[in-house]
Structure 1
Amino acid sequence: MAEEFKVGDIVTFRGYSDPDDAASGILKQGQRLKILRPTEDGEGGFKVQAVDENGVPSVGHAEMETVFPEEIEREGKKHKKGAAKARNADPAAEAQPAGPMRAPDSPAVMESRELAIGELPSPLVLTDSVKQVLAHEDALAAAKRLAKAIKQSYYTLGGILTHIYEQNLYHLAGPQYVGKRGWQTYVENELDDIDYRKAMYWVSIYRTFSAIGVDEAQLHGLEWSKAKEIARLGRLKDAEGKPIGEQILRENFDKLVEVGKGMSRDEFLDYINQGFMRAQAPGLLAAPERVVRKTINFRLRAAQAERVTRAVETVKQITGVEATEDALEQVCAEWLLAQEQAPVPVEDAVAALERRYGVKLQVVGNALDEHADSLRDLAS
């Protein structure tokens, strides 16, 4: 059961779900945030603002930043350090943590800077759609225009922003955009409803996909929040540290886009993690195992909600389960196992015991009723 948030809620930042974002330094773990509104692009995120203990906007922070539900939690909630990061953890990237590209102070600095993980050493590739825009329009003007139609143009806008960034064109938009934070300030001031983090996702998507010849037509109908998960595969390495991401993307790109269009963002994120980030080996894409989620709505009195939350958090601490829905399922399964008269399917009992003890169990034979009794005895 996913935690629900609403406009006006004061929440705590758990940490970035993508390891590369942690180095950007925009938001810090434990920071208080106020939810301003859902993102307008329908990606499931929220626009938030950093606030102090009195709910007053913090000085020195951008007016709005984008966060996703798994990166925030209600105030006062305890969790394991790095819990948000675990879901999107990229072992290869964590070995050499690096954030998204930062704007240089001058072209000389840009030429000498070291490439971050996920960046490509080859020259920037301009796709046909980006070339067409730049042939008829100033890059800074194009970025502003495309920012207003982002659902249809995030890939092209990513190309325009990459061009502006790598050519230091943002300096031309005003003297306030020269210096260490010039690029970030330009993005936040000049592009409608686009924050620095989101812009850097689009830059990363464009740099990764354009390097393997992807054009905008191939991404038609795929939301950018799913495209960024595919782009993460571009930085995979094998056990010896050899880059294999480009090969994986070339072999699987069209199939990944097709699968992504048919899944929710959460389903696709799980699919990417299970199918690639853990395997970290090139090869053809296996058929997706579709996880169907259902929403159950019910209301609780304040005292009931407190007891349910306490039980769920206790299960998380004991079992190491991260997802609220898994912890709630465990609470229900444990109660059923404790009731002698309650019928419990063997597969439910096995799943509950595996989560409780952190082991894998195998039921041998066909005497399911006998096994169910034995499992109930074990649970008690």
Structure 2
Amino acid sequence: MPFAVYALGLAVFTQGTSEFMLSGLLSGISDDLHVSIPAAALLTSAFAVGIVIGAPLMALLGRNWPRRRSLLFFLCVFAAVHVLGAVTSSYGLLLATRVVGALANAGFWAVALVTAVALAGPGARARATSVVVGGVTVACVAGVPAGAWLGGQWGWRAAFWAVALVSLPAIAVIAATIPAGRPPATLPGTRAELRSLAGRGLQLTLLTSALVQGATFCAFSYLEPIATHVTGFGSAWVPALLALFGVGSFIGVTVCGRIIDSRPDALTAAGLVSLAAGWALFAWTAGSPVAVVALVLVQGMLAFGTGTALISQVFRLADGAPTLSGSFATAAFNVGGALGPWIGGRAIDAGFGFRSPLWVSALLMILALGTAGAARACRPAPAPAPGPALRPGPGRAPEHGP
């Protein structure tokens, strides 16, 4: 695997840390900027919405730029808005920096996925994708807890400074390792790429990816109340459970990246079925500490492994959209990440209890199985291999003239 692909993973680590770290900083931001906790939480929602909207728009903006220039531009903007966020005393300005940072994040993700796949070659698409997505899982394991710790020690602004500082080595490594060449001269036009992305099979695959991520983040977002109110863990266990989920996620993307290219359809189907069964089992056994610890690890592994396989499948189905396929995969990932927690919250508000997000995750996975099956049915059947030519045998005349 080219070293440049790992540089992209490092940059994604910093961005993933920024996306999720506010969950441990809300009280500090609320007190410092004199806003409510829900208003502080809008900073996370604004980031998610900015990624969904920004992914295709930023990919269009940079599609004719050299990939190194695009990556450096988006990453420098991302670092700069974190510096601005760290020094501002205005909630409105901080909210604006989150939106701009999300747009830069979306643009970087879209270009990074395409660049990683191109650098790795067709035979290692899933492995390259797993390295980039692995940056998010490492952020869950290390970056987010570190951001919360920094916020507790020196205030929420320290976490913003840390994200900006960690972006600097990523900028340097990308500048040194990503080729500086221009996009291919034969790059399809924008309309041609959009037509390639309009295929029903691809759209259903993107919907499947969104449903899988919705199930994942629906359960992950409410892991703290599930653990403390249903399982009976003390609050001190929560960081360990979150880190365990991140460890499972890292294992999932690493293993998936090494094996999915060999049998993509069979392994993806197995992952979808296992996730559906796993979330239902999690909901059923949420009162057992042993079961919860085991399932947090296993479901993290299955969720991110299967999610990586689906992103890789998008690239296989969207060969005619080399610059926009990554943006649509990114948008689908974050649509699920935004809607899943919202649906889980509505289930809790409706009085179904803290187990309900797990049941919602299981239902979302059942829908994902349906869309995945429909997507498979939409694919054209492979052309049959030509049979051996008939040879004239004894008493058989040749079928062609002399």
The normalised TM-score by structure 2 is 0.25
Using the size of structure 1 for normalisation, the TM-score is 0.26
Higher helix share: 2
| Higher relative contact order structure (alpha carbons within 8 Å, sequence separation ≥ 6) | 2
